[in-house]
A and B are shown apart, each in its own frame.
Chain A
Amino acid sequence: MAVTTSPDSPATPSPVLPPRFGKGTLLEAGALMIIAALLAVVAFFANPSSPGFEEGRLEAGEVTLQRLPAAMEAILWIDARTEAQYEEEHIPGAVLVNEDDWEAGLMRFFEVWDPEHTVIVYCDAADCHSSRALAARLERELGPDVGTVYHLHGGWVAWRKTQTPTTAP
């Protein structure tokens, strides 16, 4: 039971308590930060799937499957690979548009395009530049109505790792 003393009564000396915050706290925090850095270095070299410095860099207009700029149903996928690759497998609902037959590709694009769509181009893999070039050309030739045309980081390979493809259009 706590007994309070009146202000007039002699003050009872406070027991010596350990400090709440002091040098020890800072030392603990510093040690944890250093250990975390060592663990991060070890994990980086031990884990082959850790992204290298260039591997994980996103360029302007590039999106990842982990963070798409719109809900899946609002995305119009543009397949920039060859027709043979498209026929074999593609992202459901994707439209084939490539430099091989640009005009026919544009016609297919406008058959399904809606102003509410977010357009994302993909090509074969991460080091494939055709999706980037195609996205730039679509933006240039179709103007502001289409808005930003994104390209998918990792391309078809990234999609294939996480999704079930289809051969149906």
Chain B
Amino acid sequence: MSSVDAIDMTKASGPIPWRMILRLLAGLVFLASGIAKAPDTTRFLFDLQAFELFPYPLAWFLAHYVPWLELLIGAGLVLGMASRGAALLGLLSAIAFIAALLLAPASVDFGCGCFGSWFSFPTRKLHLAFNALLGTFCLLVVLLRPRSTSTG
């Protein structure tokens, strides 16, 4: 192994398949989020309006679109299909979630509707930290090289 390879931390040639672990973790989060929201678009629409950030037509569009996008991101990451594109979308989604949380009025109770009625974060800080972690996982999936061209 050359020195170039030895210091290339992004080449997943070690014993621990970090990229696969990260994409599975991030993928499961997105899958859960999409599955929780897709059957109850009305609830998610109300949740989006409570953020007071979006004009109604945009909130309506997002309420119908985001759950399916999350499902595809999750499926892509978990199955390892189009995983780099899915991770890029996951990263952008996490950045958007963080921006929405930072910009929403302090009076908004979080309960953000991110996981439908399944789960809500007790504090906004915890929710921000979770999204930052999710975004980091997605970023690493984009940047890390798979162990082979077909897996990872």
Contacts and interface: CB of A to CB of B under 8 A. Distances in A.
Interface of A: 1-5, 12, 14-15, 17-18, 20-21, 24-33, 35-37, 39-40, 43-44, 47, 49-51, 53, 55-58, 64, 66-67, 153
B5 A15 contact: yes
Interface in B126-146: 142-145
B41 A25 contact: no
B82 A31 contact: yes
Contacts of B113: 66
A32 B74 CA distance: 11
Given A25-B84, A50-B41, A56-B46, A43 B64 contact: yes
A27 to B, nearest CB: 7
Contacts of B2: 3, 5, 12, 14-15
Interface in B8-47: 10-11, 38, 41-43, 45-47
Nearest to B86: A32
Contact of A43 (B5, B38, B50, B56): B38
A27 B6 contact: no
B60 interface: yes
B87 to A, nearest CB: 8
Contact of A25 (B38, B71, B85): B85
The 6 tightest CB contacts between A and B, nearest first, are A28-B85, A2-B6, A29-B85, A12-B2, A28-B82, A36-B69
A32 B4 contact: no
B84 A28 contact: yes
Contact of A20 (B6, B10, B60): B10
B65 A66 contact: no
B63 interface: yes
Contacts of A57: 56, 60
Contacts of A28: 76, 82, 84-86, 88
Contacts of B1: 1-3
Contact of A5 (B3, B47, B63): B3
A32 B76 CA distance: 9
A33 B69 contact: yes
Interface in B52-82: 56-57, 60, 63-65, 67-69, 71-73, 76, 82
Contact of A56 (B38, B45, B65, B109): B45
Interface in B87-113: 88-89, 109, 111, 113
B4 A12 contact: yes
Contacts of B76: 28, 32
Contacts of B45: 51, 56
A58 B49 contact: yes
